[in-house]
Amino acid sequence: MIAVVGGGVSGLAVGQALSARGADFVVLEAGVRPGGVIRSVEVEGRLLELGPQRARLTGPFRQAVRELGLEDRLLTAAELPLYVWADGRLRLVPLSIAGALRTDLIGWRDRLRVLAEPLTRGLRTDETAAEFFTRKFGRRVYDRVIAPLYGGLYASDPADMPARHALAATLETLGVRRSLLGALVRGSRGRGAAPACSFPAGLQTLTDALAARLGDRLRLRAPVRTLERDGARFRVVLDDDEVVADTVVLTCPAGAAADMLQGLAPDAAERLARLRYNPLALVHMLSDADLRGLGHQVALGEGEATRGVTWNHAMFGRDGLYTAFLGGGKRPDLPARPDDELKALAVAEFAEMTGEDARAIHVSRTWIPAWDRSWDALDALSLPEGIGVCASWDARPGLTGRLVDARRVAVGLTA
């Protein structure tokens, strides 16, 4: 018996992969609904995403869609530009050679500096993500392009992110030994970037389909309180029940994993409890603005509270909808403020950056693993034999990363 703790996308995907291999398992979710941070709701007749705003139609995501029979519901977006707010203007991010020639985000010296990247050394384990990217591409490209985009993935400042935690696994996946630019060029030959994608009813369509496939193998309202030894097996203790398992897979947030490991593995619990999550407020807005692009990020040196804005309006038929993200590692106090204050702030900064009026219709909050210096706590993490991990605090973030990691874990458990 395999007990999967957590019914977010990681736990559901592990369950799906275990089911395909004929394993005996159960997925235990503390909440009343599966899906974790992926949640799609309707407000004022508009489809809002309270977590990720879109996915990328990568190979693993396409495979999941096919296996779940969701091909006829898949929506894709045309290739769209991305912008960065810097020095009082929205500036085009150079995502292609043509974009690099058109943008005023970087100058000609910066472009030449990027071309010299293959001559620089590979990743050093003692540097931060900021130091790595600055050394590879130069300070201005880092400040105006890489920091807002890469930092935006985690709502963290890359200067606080140790490269050995935040970058090493990703570079290995990309096949990067020395030149990041060379690997990106090789990877893009003959194909464009995977298009943005979603479903008419939102990304929750994916997690709902995964949950439906699991049937009674998925147990909701089943919070795990502690993990205890039972000879060579584990007792997974719930509020009024328990599951005896040969193997436990932790797919829950680090703090929840720490709580249930306190008695069984106190050192591991203490280390997991150190990991910081960045709080984010999502403010969903309606506007008559006809902005065409994926959205914009805000350069780290700017004073705005907004970290970035997704232009939902330009994708999937969600006309007039824009989603602002406020808070993160540099302003962790913001998400705790009242909804009305966050709405007013998001609307004001949207007008400042786009020149367009908007009306806020909803506020939600979420948390993202920071992958900052607190991840040093994992350097000596040791879990009891028989306990595995498939979680966004341990491996690649993002939907594709979660699907890939889930399949890897399931294959390892059933090999």
DSSP secondary structure string, 57-123? --HHHHHHHHHTT-GGG-EE-----EEEEETTEEEE---SHHHHHH-SSS-HHHHHHHHTGGGS---
Is-contact 334 281, C-beta < 8 A? Answer: yes
Is-contact 288 253, C-beta < 8 A? Answer: no
How far is residue 358's CA from residue 352's CA, in Å, rounded to a whole number?
Answer: 11
How far is residue 122's CA from residue 231's CA, in Å, rounded to a whole number?
Answer: 46
Task: Reduce the DSSP state of residue 55 to 3 states and report it.
Answer: strand
* 36 Ramachandran zone, left/alpha/beta (phi>0; psi -120 to 50): left
Q: Which helix (H) or strand (E) holds 3?
A: strand 2-5
Per-residue pLDDT of the chain (415 residues; tens, 9 = 90+): 999 999 999 999 999 999 999 999 999 999 999 999 999 999 999 999 999 999 999 999 999 999 999 999 999 999 999 999 999 999 999 876 667 767 888 888 988 888 898 999 989 989 999 999 999 999 999 999 999 999 888 899 999 999 998 888 778 777 777 788 776 665 554 456 789 999 999 999 999 999 999 999 999 999 999 999 999 999 999 998 999 999 999 999 999 999 999 999 999 999 999 999 999 999 999 999 999 999 999 998 888 999 999 999 999 999 999 999 999 998 999 999 999 999 999 999 999 999 999 999 999 999 999 999 999 999 999 999 999 999 999 987 789 999 999 999 999 999 8
pLDDT at residue 415, as a whole number = 82
Q: Up-side HSE of residue 296: CA atoms within 13 Å toward CB?
A: 23
In angstroms, the first-to-last Cα distance of the chain is 15
Task: Reduce the DSSP state of residue 324 to 3 states and report it.
Answer: strand
Strands (DSSP E) along 215-374, which ranges? 218-219, 226-230, 233-237, 242-245, 247-250, 277-286, 295-298, 306-310, 321-327, 359-369
pTM, entire model: 0.93
Instruction: Catalogue all structural domains in the chain, each as residue range(s) with its CATH number.
Output: 2-36+203-275+379-414 (3.50.50.60), 94-191 (1.10.3110.10)
How far is residue 5's CA from residue 256's CA, in Å, rounded to a whole number?
Answer: 10
pLDDT at residue 101, as a whole number = 67
Is-contact 223 362, C-beta < 8 A? Answer: no
pLDDT at residue 185, as a whole number = 63
Q: What is the DSSP letter of 320?
A: T
User: In a 10 Å sphere around its CB, with 0-12 CB exposed, 13-18 middle and 19+ buried, how is residue 98 labelled?
Assistant: exposed
Is-contact 163 123, C-beta < 8 A? Answer: yes
> Which of 261, 233, 231 shows the shortest CA–CA distance to 245?
233
How far is residue 259's CA from residue 30's CA, in Å, rounded to a whole number?
Answer: 13
Task: Reduce the DSSP state of residue 260 to 3 states and report it.
Answer: helix
Task: Reduce the DSSP state of residue 185 to 3 states and report it.
Answer: helix
User: In a 10 Å sphere around its CB, with 0-12 CB exposed, 13-18 middle and 19+ buried, how is residue 289 labelled?
Assistant: middle
